Structure 1
Amino acid sequence: MKNNNIKGLFLTFISIIYGVLMLINAPPVYSSGIGERAQEAILRMRTAQFYDVRFSTNHLKVGEDLVVTGKVMILPIWPHELGFSGIGYINFFEPGPRLVRKETVVNGQPLFSSMIIKLGDNYEFKEVLTARQPGNWPVGVTMNIKDIGPIVGPSIKVAIDPSNSPFTYIIKTLTGQTVNLENYGLSRAFGWSMLWVFLGIGWLYYWLILKPTAPRLGLAYLEKEEELITKKDTQFGLLFLAIVVILVFGGAFITSKQFPIVVPLQKTFVRIDPLAPEPAFVEAKVTKATYNVQQRSLDFDLQVTNKGTDKVYLKRFQTANVAFLNPSAPNNQWASDSPEVNGGELQITPSEPILAGETKTLHVKAQGSAWEVERLSTIYKETASRFGGLLFFSDTEGRRNIIAIADQFVVPVFE
């Protein structure tokens, strides 16, 4: 009976090892995006809006750098149902560690931890990523908000080719030691993990194989305590306890001697001043908005006042990662390196520019399949039927005003 139990345990252990090896060697399966369409419209449209995002390249080799730049605005009116913690962190999204981050800079300051953010503020960022593994990977920028999670920004598909040498990530520590983070401490971590695994297997072997459960249930039923836990069992338990205590305290002692200088994990929040507001020469307010379900069109009336000295155009409406461009505005073509989704034309009636000192009501129509493809049309299905986004105004000199639409009610139309 005991030999059969040992044989069964051995076969089970071999099956587990085989399954793990199969998973390790199996080809990876990844989706074509980073999951931005799975997020609710309320998150993508009414919280943080990325704009002017650019990726330095979409094709590089292992060891080469990818630079991501852009800006993000925390919309001035935050959804009440979400809550606002005021703590954020600019990050990037990828399917596993295909690239490693070397540097993050926000408004000219290096960022190592979360930062305090305020409603209505703008932040300019730069991230430097180094290609680590060959393949075709979706990579995007995110804003992680405490208590909410990541708000996904624009993304692209990056092709990484192999290099002639394996990937290394060499750094110099504060004590002057040069280490390769790609494999630094790997053998130590693997050794400790396997040690605890074997200890656990030994413990289970003793109490499940050498001391089968079914007979012990009978002893417990008969209240034969002296046979249920014998003196040998107690000695075995004390031996295991002594081994664990020695490993824990001994390992901590050896580690403290080997690495006497340590820096604790930082949990503070960084205060970074937002970008200075641009000179405002345009005021705009949405007075009415509808979403036509069948036409897949967001229509809204916009009251605009030009307080500048030059005529201005509404050039762009952007919500989430979808942008609509006004073809009537001069020099307003879609950039070939833009990571946003091209939603189509922004139809404005009347199409003439707003003259200096003029107040005009514009009817804006943003129509296209992107509402359904990007799963933003669910705004009329949510408990708060509202939308948000950014309006980009520009004069003939190229000066720009960005106005946030943060909490506008939308009336669904089904005809």
Structure 2
Amino acid sequence: MKIKNWFIIPIVLACSLMLATIASNSLFASGIGERAQEAILRMRTAQFYDVRFSSNHLKVGEDLVVTGKVMILPIWPHELGFSGIGYINFFEPGPRLVRKETVVNGQPVFSSMIIKLGDTYDFKEVLTARQPGTWPVGVTMNIKDIGPIVGPSIKVTIDPSSTPYTNTVQTLTGQSVNLENYGLSRAMGWSFLWVLLGIGWLYYWLILKPTAPRLGLAYLEKEDELVTKQDQKLGLLFLGLVIVLVFGGAFIASKQFPIVVPLQKTFVRIDPLPQEPTYVEAKVNKATYNVQQRSLDFDLVVTNKGTDKVYLRRFQTANVAFLNPAAPDNQWPADSPEVNGGDLQITPNDPILPGETKQLHIKAQGAAWEVERLSTIYKESASRFGGLLFFGDTQGHRNIIAIADQFIVPVFQ
């Protein structure tokens, strides 16, 4: 039995719709894709630290507060370019949480901001749980012309609530609306109308006037039969409908909503955090990456200009941190979202005394280099690494030094 063309198209559309529905309801991302980014982006551009999530278990309608700091490294990769425009954002698989507030250095932020190399920004994001499930959620720094630089993330479990989620706001005219369903019927109505118009156009040109016979007319150069007077009239009819719908819809919307605020495209200026007093200087002299041992080794010359002995407490690159077990009270925080890379091996591992200059050999070894896909630094066109060195004294003072453009020599034995 021969199946006609008009019967095949509905079957294909129905199957496509069924597959899309199944995929949207059963397939969710298990992470936020940070391991897919090149090491150059994660190690040498923006570094997140002190990131904390208020909870990993919420109910629908409860708030998740994310705090932390991000430093724009002072030496930006030349091959990437630096636009100076950034935006602190959060990452999730769809609208599972809704952002209520973003504060950077104490100021509310609603748009992109002007950022500078070497500056540090303190941020707080308030998110409201919207949809039940277990979702990966993380922070990002979106850089113009670069894209998102992914920071630490956790998995948040959202339980159902006894009341449905609402997102009520008050408009400029004093009207309270629920953004969960406000304008939904209007949007669906217009979408259905345009889809119906498109189906009618395709039905005429693909079903009533099949493609194969028209190809024959084009080959025989029979232009008069290829597009007839009736086809031209129908085309003008569709054109008229489109013009009426576009301008008529705009006219109706302007009458119904006379007070509007245009989309904002300006950039805000946020003063960076003030520079902390510097009592430590550090410089990397040589760096290697041992592929078989999965170890980053580098020599570090440290000068203590303070009045108290200091320790190198932590080395962090991307979202992986290595801690010095010999530094006092330097345990891994239970609520830290960073990846624990293991112990930081330092030779010699004695404190740097006031006024002393000492050369240290740093060894950051662990499986995290491979698991987090940071070991590709020696495979990239610019074999360099970056990160943050955390120094601290016995009084709790901290100095953070950025290393952002250090060449790496790969070792394969």
Alignment correspondent of 1:110: 108
> For 1:13-412, what aligned pairs fall within 5 Å after superposition?
13-26=10-23, 27-220=25-218, 225-412=223-410
Does residue 8 (structure 1) correspond to residue 10 (structure 2)? The answer is no
Closer/same/farther in 2, CA of residues 231 and 123 from structure 1, 3 Å limit: same
State the SS of the aligned residue for 1:183: coil
Question: Do the aligned partners of 1:5 and 1:209 also contact (CA within 8 Å) in 2?
Answer: no
Query: Which amino acid in the other structure matches residue 408 of structure 2?
Result: V
Query: For the residues of structure 2 that align with 1:151 and 1:70, how far apart are their CA atoms?
Result: 15
Closer/same/farther in 2, CA of residues 31 and 216 from structure 1, 3 Å limit: closer
Query: Which has the higher mean CA deviation after the structures are superposed, 98-107 or 26-35?
Result: 26-35
Query: Which has the higher mean CA deviation after the structures are superposed, 32-41 or 12-21?
Result: 12-21
State the SS of the aligned residue for 2:26: coil
Closer/same/farther in 2, CA of residues 287 and 242 from structure 1, 3 Å limit: same
Once the two structures are TM-superposed, the CA of residue 409 in structure 1 deviates from its matched residue by 1.1
Query: Which amino acid in the other structure matches residue 311 of structure 1?
Result: K
Closer/same/farther in 2, CA of residues 208 and 411 from structure 1, 3 Å limit: closer
1:43-67 Cα distance to aligned partner (Å, 9 max, x none): 1100000000000000001111100
State the SS of the aligned residue for 1:70: strand
Query: For the residues of structure 2 that align with 1:302 and 1:218, how far apart are their CA atoms?
Result: 76
Query: For the residues of structure 1 that align with 2:271 and 2:188, how far apart are their CA atoms?
Result: 43
Question: Do the aligned partners of 2:50 and 2:68 also contact (CA within 8 Å) in 1?
Answer: yes
Closer/same/farther in 2, CA of residues 354 and 267 from structure 1, 3 Å limit: same
State the SS of the aligned residue for 1:32: coil
Question: Do the aligned partners of 2:5 and 2:207 also contact (CA within 8 Å) in 1?
Answer: no
Query: Which amino acid in the other structure matches residue 299 of structure 2?
Result: D
Query: For the residues of structure 2 that align with 1:67 and 1:73, how far apart are their CA atoms?
Result: 20
Query: For the residues of structure 1 that align with 2:223 and 2:137, how far apart are their CA atoms?
Result: 61
Query: For the residues of structure 1 that align with 2:78 and 2:52, how far apart are their CA atoms?
Result: 31
1:156-214 Cα distance to aligned partner (Å, 9 max, x none): 01111111122111111112111111111111111111111111111222223333344
Query: Which has the higher mean CA deviation after the structures are superposed, 112-121 or 164-173?
Result: 164-173
Closer/same/farther in 2, CA of residues 227 and 128 from structure 1, 3 Å limit: same
Question: Do the aligned partners of 1:6 and 1:209 also contact (CA within 8 Å) in 2?
Answer: no
1:17-74 Cα distance to aligned partner (Å, 9 max, x none): 3531442244322342211111111111000000000000000011111000000000
Query: Which has the higher mean CA deviation after the structures are superposed, 215-224 or 388-397?
Result: 215-224
Once the two structures are TM-superposed, the CA of residue 104 in structure 1 deviates from its matched residue by 0.6
Once the two structures are TM-superposed, the CA of residue 227 in structure 1 deviates from its matched residue by 4.3
Query: For the residues of structure 2 that align with 1:246 and 1:404, how far apart are their CA atoms?
Result: 60
State the SS of the aligned residue for 2:325: coil
Question: Do the aligned partners of 1:74 and 1:122 also contact (CA within 8 Å) in 2?
Answer: yes
Closer/same/farther in 2, CA of residues 216 and 290 from structure 1, 3 Å limit: closer
Question: Do the aligned partners of 1:55 and 1:68 also contact (CA within 8 Å) in 2?
Answer: yes
Query: Which amino acid in the other structure matches residue 127 of structure 1?
Result: E
Query: Which amino acid in the other structure matches residue 330 of structure 1?
Result: P
Once the two structures are TM-superposed, the CA of residue 235 in structure 1 deviates from its matched residue by 2.5
State the SS of the aligned residue for 2:163: coil
Closer/same/farther in 2, CA of residues 404 and 214 from structure 1, 3 Å limit: closer
Query: For the residues of structure 1 that align with 2:255 and 2:148, how far apart are their CA atoms?
Result: 39
Using structure 1 for the length normalisation, give the TM-score: 0.95
Could you tell me which runs of 5 or more consecutive residues in structure 1 were left unpaired when the two chains were aligned. none
Query: For the residues of structure 1 that align with 2:323 and 2:219, how far apart are their CA atoms?
Result: 78
